[in-house]
Amino acid sequence: MKLVVDLTRCQGYGQCAYFAPGVFRMRGNEVLMDNPEPDDDQRDRVLRAAAACPVQAIRIDGTVGGDAAAAAPAPALATAVPAQRTPSGIIATAVEAFRRNGRIVIVGASLAGLTAATVMRRDGFTGSITIIGEEQYQPYDRPPLSKQVFEGLIPASNTDLPGDVNARWLLGVPATGLDLPAKQVLLGDGSAVEFDRLLIATGTRARPWPNMTEAALDGVFVLRTRDDAAVLSQRLASRPRRVLVIGAGFTGSEVASACRDRDIDVTVVDRGPAPLAGALGEFIGNVAAGLQREHGVDLRCGVTVTALEGDDRGRLRRARLSDSSVVDADLAVVALGAIRNTEWLRGSGLAVGKWGVACDAGCRAFDVNGATTDNIFVAGDVARFPHPLYDYQFLALEHWGNAVTQAEIAGHNMVGGPGTRWPHLATPVFWSSQFGTSIKSVGVPTYADQLMIVQGSVPERRFIAAFGRSGRITAAVAFDQAMWLEFYQHLIETAQPFPPAFTAFGQPAGRPVPVTVPAQEIRDLQATVMVTGHDPGERRAELLYHDELGRPRHGPGQHFRPDSRPRQPGQSLSALRRATQDPGGQARRRHLCRQHLPRDRRVAARPAGRLRSPQPARGE
């Protein structure tokens, strides 16, 4: 049997560990560890554990889809579609014909790709689905790779996602191009796959060490794929002298945690002021730094690795840092973030940049001119989309929860008609387990300019920090306090004031402090956008790509110039921005997400003047 725990829902109650202790176990106060592929003799225990879970976070076998899939049972297909002469009847007939015999291609055998395909089938799509994956494996769960697999608790092969979808699988072959006029995906083996509608779910890959010679040393690794985790787990089992982790984001911090769980010495080097500071701000980062040092991590912030050196046999031996110090290590994990897999889309005519593929809230991709396409959709880590709660700023989220919720929306919209489409309005949620502590977040902490500890104790590392901007709560981060995050999510979605206007149990006396987020270095200057033409009907955008040094590339395939065909119907980026701007600065509007199921979620706008003004925290 196969299972997956939706840790965006899990609140650390631990009932599952009581009913199936051979499959689930608790670490620390709220960290849950599980075996994704338990033996069949554990099935009854696992089923009882899933039934007992207060938040229904355990999904077994074919239950990858979340609320959207569960809330939308497959509609019955009529045996015959009567001819309709009205415009609405013609559209309905075309939609029904597509649902019966359409061709859908999903590029990305990933969590997002599998979830979208599952929702399509549940929504009654009976046409063909082709799923293309560069790796040779069926979709697998990535979070356990840096946790259970890295700690040696389960093999990397035991991470397959539950789900059995009726699809044609093309695995071990990468997509190399997209021909929009011909509606074809070009593959690495020279073949092409035709489609009526396409879902782009290619995700990201680990950013490699920039020096290729040093990256080739025996002992230098990245962690992204199942194969990466399997090799690293074996190397850790050989007890290296010291592990060097380059980068103190979530992956780097989880790797350091796994090393210390195995009692292996580890040094973490990060150019920022503190671990996790790029995602949660410097204040929370300093708490994470204390957590790492308390568990024996040699943490060095504000420095960089300038060189990796090996011996005459090509094995890693040491690293030189920017402060002239030297770290002796025979294994290094490069955790410098991710690169979105969009190179195969160059020249396709889509709006592709270093942050991914731009799309609207319904997951429809934008073309290079900023107009929406009707047959190309995007979901998961590779998508960049506007979110109403954050002033319609475009977000690119590398979160497990976003991959699921956005794929549910994309899958539903791809097989539905124009009047049945849903917007992707899920509030971002993510989690990390490190050093026996559960760290969870709701909202976008980096959007805020202030934070305040509203519950618990920072010295005990059990607290909740609320984040705010312009007098509105926009995010919350919890250390071992996951059960409260649903309450704060409600405050975010209903535009409640910041600082929060309530007194919580155990609320410390204090006042808001600034959120300091390090400036992000732009590592991937992929393209410059140019606009050509004079008359409105002739103006078109052009993407001019660059090399590693930022110099423009010329020649076939290195830049894209759209043809002179009319724009496709849909709202452009400029129109979206005009609709959300406030020219006079007098009537700033707040937006509230209402309802719970994805199909019901909508945005309600109200003037900011109806909000209560920020009030000082209680106890000041």
- The per-residue pLDDT for 69 is 39
Q: How confident is the model at residue 84 (pLDDT cuts 50, 70, 90)?
A: low
Decide: 433 and 439 in contact? Cβ < 8 Å.
Answer: yes
- 223-227, 513-517, 546-550: which range is least confident on average? 546-550
470 Cβ contact partners less than 8 Å away, ≥ 6 residues apart: 449, 588
Q: Does residue 620 register a pLDDT over 50?
A: no
Q: How much is the mean pLDDT over the chain? A: 83
Residue whose C-alpha is closest to residue 419's, from 29, 94, 3 = 94
Residue 211: count other Cβ atoms within 10 Å of its Cβ. 14
Strand partners, 58: 5
Q: How confident is the model at residue 70 (pLDDT cuts 50, 70, 90)?
A: very low
Query: What does the block give as tokens for 131?
Result: 């799923």
Query: What does the block give as tokens for 155?
Result: 């093999």
Distance CA 397, CA 348 (A): 23
- List, in order of start, the domains of the chain with CATH numbers: 3-60 (3.30.70.20), 79-205+340-420 (3.50.50.60), 212-336 (3.50.50.60), 436-515+582-620 (3.30.390.30), 527-561+574-579 (no CATH)
- pTM equals 0.83
User: Exposure string (b/e) for 18-37, b if CB count within 10 Å is 16 or more?
Assistant: ebbeebbbbbebbbbbbbbb
- The per-residue pLDDT for 55 is 87
* Amino acid identity, position 437: T
Segment 509-534 shows an average pLDDT of 72
* Residue given tokens 């206007």 in the structure block: 501
Q: Does residue 567 register a pLDDT over 70?
A: no
581 Cβ contact partners less than 8 Å away, ≥ 6 residues apart: none
Q: Does residue 452 register a pLDDT over 70?
A: yes
Distance CA 12, CA 28 (A): 10
What secondary structure letter does DSSP report for 121? H
122 Cβ contact partners less than 8 Å away, ≥ 6 residues apart: 65, 69, 72, 73, 74
Distance CA 222, CA 146 (A): 11
Higher-pLDDT residue of 476 and 585 is: 476
Query: What does the block give as tokens for 408?
Result: 């549910």
What secondary structure letter does DSSP report for 520? P
Taking CA 159 as the corner, what is the angle to CA 153 and CA 163, rounded to the nearest 5 degrees?
145
Q: How far is CA 13 from CA 26, 55, 73, 488, 520, in A?
A: 9, 9, 30, 18, 37
Alpha helices (runs of H) in 262-352, residue ranges in sequence order:
277-280, 282-294
Distance CA 257, CA 150 (A): 10
Peptide linkage before 54 cis (omega within 30 of 0): no
Torsion angles phi and psi, residue 243, rounded to 5: -105, 130
Alpha helices (runs of H) in 166-211, residue ranges in sequence order:
none
Decide: 415 and 123 in contact? Cβ < 8 Å.
Answer: yes
Q: What is the dihedral of CA 100, 378, 541, 194, to 10 degrees?
A: -40
| End-to-end C-alpha distance for the chain, whole angstroms | 55
Q: What is the pLDDT of residues 172-219, one digit of tens each?
A: 999 999 999 999 999 999 999 999 999 999 999 999 999 999 999 999
Distance CA 506, CA 123 (A): 46
